[in-house]
Amino acid sequence: MAITRKRAFYLILIFLIIIDICLLAYVTFYPVDSSLKVGAWTFDLILCVVLWIEFIYSYYHCDDRKQYMRDNGLSILGMLPLNFYFLRALRLIKLVQMIKLYVLARDSEKAFTRFLKRTYLDKILFVAILFIFLLTVLIRIVDSDIHDLATALWYIVVSATSTGYGDIVPTTVSGRIVGIIAMVGGILIFSTLTAVISSIYVSRISRDTRDDLESKIEDLTLEVSKLNEKLDELKNEKD
């Protein structure tokens, strides 16, 4: 029951964060009148308060506070009600965390938890999101040809996936340095993703191999236990 209530609560939070992200994205990327902007910012502020309450509550009720801070400390970034509009995109981090918590609340999904723990997939996603947003802000500041954040984001994604259409190309040294970081970093992130997907297949093959060998060892164990019984009999006969 507690689990059902918890999950319902997380589901509502996920829903609210998605609405919040869409609203803020709309307000950021499209020209809108200020009343809508104020509305979106108020909604965002209220959501931040709710997220902080949930965070503090969870912190005081968890088993191991140090472990909790290590696991969720970074998600604090996703709860800052900063007025600098772009940093609100960090709310995405909070979304990832909430989805993770929602999944974790399902006690039947232990395999998924183990999978996350073994592959660090949530950490990789987190780093990827942070990486893309930091570089987006950076290239926007550094390159004078990129006039808005939507274009900056487009440039970074096109570079990080090593697609490189060439519609936007930095020409200054500092812009090119950001570009190189985006390209190399992007390859590293996607390489890690390839490695994670590979590890799924490998772990299955490894499990099969282990099962085969274990059954062989069990045969041996059976043989040895027979030996044990016979020896016991021999001893008993003697006594």
Contacts to a second copy by CB under 8 A: 29-30, 118-119, 150, 154, 157-159, 161-167, 169, 173, 176, 179-180, 183-184, 187-188, 190-210, 212-214, 216-221, 223-228, 230-235, 237-238
> Residue 153 class from Cβ within 10 Å (0-12 exposed, 13-18 middle, 19+ buried)?
buried
Q: Taking the complex as a whole, how short is the minimal distance between the CB of residue 14 and a second copy, in angstroms?
A: 21
- 54 or 122, CB closer to a second copy? 122
CA angle 143, 127, 83 (to 5 degrees): 60
Q: Taking the complex as a whole, how short is the minimal distance between the CB of residue 182 and a second copy, in angstroms?
A: 9
Q: Taking the complex as a whole, how short is the minimal distance between the CB of residue 7 and a second copy, in angstroms?
A: 26
The set of residues, in sequence order, having a beta carbon less than 8 Å from that of 189 and lying 6+ positions away, is 124, 127, 128, 131, 160
Distance CA 81, CA 41 (A): 9
- 3 or 213, CB closer to a second copy? 213
Q: Taking the complex as a whole, how short is the minimal distance between the CB of residue 53 and a second copy, in angstroms?
A: 33
Q: Taking the complex as a whole, how short is the minimal distance between the CB of residue 174 and a second copy, in angstroms?
A: 11
- 29 or 57, CB closer to a second copy? 29
Q: Taking the complex as a whole, how short is the minimal distance between the CB of residue 133 and a second copy, in angstroms?
A: 14
SS3 per-residue string spanning 102-147? HHHHCCCCHHHHHHHHHHCHHHHHHHHHHHHHHHHHHHHHHCCCCC
Longest CA–CA separation in the chain, Å: 100
- 64 or 229, CB closer to a second copy? 229
- 2 or 173, CB closer to a second copy? 173
The set of residues, in sequence order, having a beta carbon less than 8 Å from that of 148 and lying 6+ positions away, is 29, 140
- 51 or 149, CB closer to a second copy? 149
The one-character DSSP state at 148 is: S
Identify whether the C-beta of residue 24 lies closer than 8 Å to the C-beta of residue 85. yes
